[in-house]
């Protein structure tokens, strides 16, 4: 006897009542949003808060200690500033288009970060222990109630760096080459907008807060510029 096919049709009809469920969601590979940044990107973001004209970080020394030379005793004295040192390339001068550079030390011992622009430096020397930056001071003498003629005095900052390999050599070479570039521009009459008196409020740029551990995007107050007279203890 030929079997009846009504049952088969009923089965097919019953099966069609259930929707097909796609397994795409369980099989597709999940890709998390890319929020992780490289150390270079984090450093650049942090430094740009203090140096808005920052273009590129050229060299980094993990630890630098800043000293001043006491001209009276010939002894090196700690300034209380120590931390990661960055040698930076800035955007070109908006006036002359000439290159600009600076040194930044993010202070882990306090709220004042040291920023020195190449155009502010009078001389650079490299010794076995220190990277030496020299500046000129014009100080007015006071005698018998009268202001005497300003006396020019040399002030020296010493950067003592602890770093692996040839990092110290690279940092020193970069700072000196940037200073030499600034000197050539100064002598040619260019880049004069970066040539400031080093011993007023323009000598050093200092900003409050922060180090590398800051939260990206967090607003931080910007401090005033630290003068050399303050850094050298009003000697």
pLDDT digits (tens, 9 = 90+) for 21-66: 555 454 555 555 557 889 999 999 999 999 999 999 999 999 999 9
Express each pLDDT in 159-204 by its tens digit: 999 888 899 999 999 999 999 999 998 888 654 544 444 443 333 4
Cα dihedral 142→144→146→150 (10° resolution): -30
CA distances to 6, 9, 17, 22 from 13, in Å? 11, 6, 7, 21
- Write down how long the chain is: 235
d(CA 156, CA 22): 73
Supply the pLDDT for residue 7. Answer: 53
d(CA 121, CA 154): 11
Mode of pairing for the β-strands spanning 76-90 and 100-107: antiparallel
Whether the model clears a pTM of 0.75, i.e. scores above it, the answer is no
Least confident of 81-85, 109-113, 199-203, 214-218: 214-218
Whether the CB-CB separation of 159 and 179 falls below 8 Å is answered with no
Cα 213 vs. chain centroid, distance in angstroms? 13
Domains along the chain? 38-209+221-231 (2.30.29.30)
């Amino acid at each position: 006897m030929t079997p009846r096919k009504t049952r088969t049709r009923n089965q097919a009809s019953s099966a069609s009542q259930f929707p097909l469920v796609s397994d795409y969601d369980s099989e597709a590979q999940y890709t998390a949003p890319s929020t992780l940044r490289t150390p270079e990107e984090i450093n650049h973001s942090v430094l740009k808060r203090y140096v808005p004209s920052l273009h590129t970080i050229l060299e980094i020394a993990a630890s630098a200690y800043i000293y001043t030379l006491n001209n009276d005793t010939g002894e090196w004295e700690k300034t209380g500033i120590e931390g990661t040192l960055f040698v930076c390339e800035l955007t070109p001068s908006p006036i002359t288009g000439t290159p600009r550079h600076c040194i930044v030390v993010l202070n882990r011992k306090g709220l004042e970060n040291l920023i020195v622009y190449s155009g502010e430096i009078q001389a650079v020397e490299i010794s076995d222990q220190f990277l030496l930056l020299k500046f000129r001071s014009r100080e007015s003498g006071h005698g018998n109630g009268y202001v005497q003629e300003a006396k020019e005095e040399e002030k020296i900052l010493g950067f003592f760096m602890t770093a692996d390999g040839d990092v110290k050599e690279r940092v020193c070479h970069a700072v000196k080459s940037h200073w030499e570039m600034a000197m050539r521009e100064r002598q040619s009459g260019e880049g004069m907008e970066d040539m400031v008196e080093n011993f007023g409020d323009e000598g050093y740029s200092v900003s409050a807060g922060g180090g590398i551990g800051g939260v990206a995007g967090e607003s931080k107050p910007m401090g005033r510029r630290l003068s050399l007279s303050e850094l050298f203890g009003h000697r």
